[in-house]
Amino acid sequence: MNTKIVTINPKRISSEKILYVASLLKKGEVVALPTETVYGLGANALNPKAVKKIFKAKGRPTDNPLIVHIYNMKQLKLIAKDISDDAKKLMRKFWPGPLTLILPKTKKVPDIITAGRETVGVRMPHHRIALALIRNADLPIAAPSANSFGKPSPTISKHVIEDLSGKIAAIIDGGSVKIGIESTIIDMTSKTPVLLRPGGITLEEIQKIIGKISVHESVNHPQKKMKDALAPGMKYKHYSPKAKVILLEKTSLKKALEMYPSAIAISLNKTIKEKKNVKYIKNLNHLAKEIFFYFREADEKNIPIIIVDKIPEKGIGMSILNRVKKAATKII
Ligand code: TXA
Ligand code: MG
């Protein structure tokens, strides 16, 4: 398949180009699009044949359900029902934005989206191109991250081209994403909401709005095998570069570099000396934006080992830690 690369400036969106990509979605094709979190691989959520193409292009197991992306509340009513007051509060505060809510689904949502579940993950992305595209297609859009299965999520169109060129109808190049890791996922269908995946919205921000929320065990221990894979994605190894990833919890960076002289390292520590193999990142938001990019870049350069220096568990640090732990072969 010949994959069209469509360059769109998010600050001056070309309606002609958006209409073209929207027409592909209406025809049941799969297209990659930028969102504020990571690039997504979108198709008409109401068309099972179109959705099947997403799984095929990514090489993704079909027991892992997809998030549906919407642009307004009318579309929400089409796909989700019995929405709790807490869910409404979260939507009001964080939509459009990097928050996915698991809600009871309507009959309209095909089984292939939800892997046969009675719930559906929904989010309204905070990205001008994504919103314009969904509005123009006038369809709810199913979209996982636009990487091949097992690879880090893409934060620039070049990553998507590397993974999916030749496998999908079009890729929108809309520049780099703002956040760099995926949305926060909360299951709103149990009595106490459950954080299933930490992401762009922090646990602290959620707690401020709805108070009590429980944290699924896999959030802080993503490497433990889950008996009951609540978010089915949890059971798969994810976000892995080819390089070995070593996360530092107790060991100093200096010591770790002595142990692994061929490694490169990334660190939030102001006092470290930047060197060819050691990169300093000034804060957690920058680290979120850089981490998947850094993993991909290391693979391009055939780096065998990546050391990630200590990350505080607060704020978006919790989300970054979750991703790094998923990729890590060792925590020392
Ligand atoms: O930021 C994001 O969320 C990106 C952008 C493209 O929107 N999308 C994304 O999709 O990260 P994906 O497919 O890579 O991750 C979605 C996760 C999966 O782990 C899946 O298991 C979970 O959401 N999920 C989807 N529907 C679910 C449901 N009904 N119940 C529980 N988990 C669900
Ligand atoms: Mg993904």
Residue 153 CA to ligand 2 centre (angstroms):
6
Least confident of 123-127, 226-230, 309-313: 226-230
Mean pLDDT of the region 27-33: 98
Q: What is the pLDDT of residues 279-300, one digit of tens each?
A: 999 999 999 999 999 999 999 9
Q: Tell me if 114 sits within 8 A of 105, measured CB to CB.
A: yes
Helices then strands, counting H and E runs in the chain, come out as 12, 16
pLDDT of 227 > 50? The answer is no
pTM, entire model:
0.96
**Which atom of ligand 1 lies at the shortest distance from residue 41's CA?**
6
Where in the chain does DSSP place strands (E)?
Answer: 4-7, 31-33, 40-44, 67-69, 99-104, 119-123, 141-142, 170-173, 184-187, 194-197, 214-215, 244-247, 264-267, 278-280, 305-308, 328-331
Is there an atom of ligand 1 within 6 Å of 117 CB?
yes
Residue 176 CA to ligand 2 centre (angstroms):
17
pLDDT of 102 > 60? The answer is yes
Q: Which ligand is nearest to the CA of 125?
A: 1
**Which atom of ligand 1 lies at the shortest distance from residue 234's CA?**
19
Residue 271 CA to ligand 1 centre (angstroms):
37
pLDDT of 316 > 80? The answer is yes
Is there an atom of ligand 1 within 6 Å of 152 CB?
no
Residue whose CA is at the smallest distance from ligand 1 atom 30: 231
The span from the CA of 240 to the CA of 233, in Å, is: 14
pLDDT of 223 > 90? The answer is no
The span from the CA of 199 to the CA of 219, in Å, is: 10
Residue whose CA is at the smallest distance from ligand 1 atom 33: 231
Length of the chain in terms of residues written: 332
pLDDT of 3 > 60? The answer is yes
Considering only residues 49 and 229, tell me which one the structure prediction assigns the higher pLDDT: 49
Model confidence band, residue 228 (pLDDT cutoffs 50, 70, 90): very low
Is there an atom of ligand 1 within 6 Å of 222 CB?
no
Model confidence band, residue 122 (pLDDT cutoffs 50, 70, 90): very high
Q: What is the pLDDT of residue 241?
A: 81
Model confidence band, residue 232 (pLDDT cutoffs 50, 70, 90): low
Mean pLDDT of the chain: 95
pLDDT of 204 > 70? The answer is yes
Is there an atom of ligand 1 within 6 Å of 182 CB?
yes
Q: What is the pLDDT of residue 328?
A: 93
Q: What is the pLDDT of residue 234?
A: 52
Structure tokens at 84: 């709790």
Residue 241 CA to ligand 2 centre (angstroms):
14
Provide the residue type at 15 as one letter: S
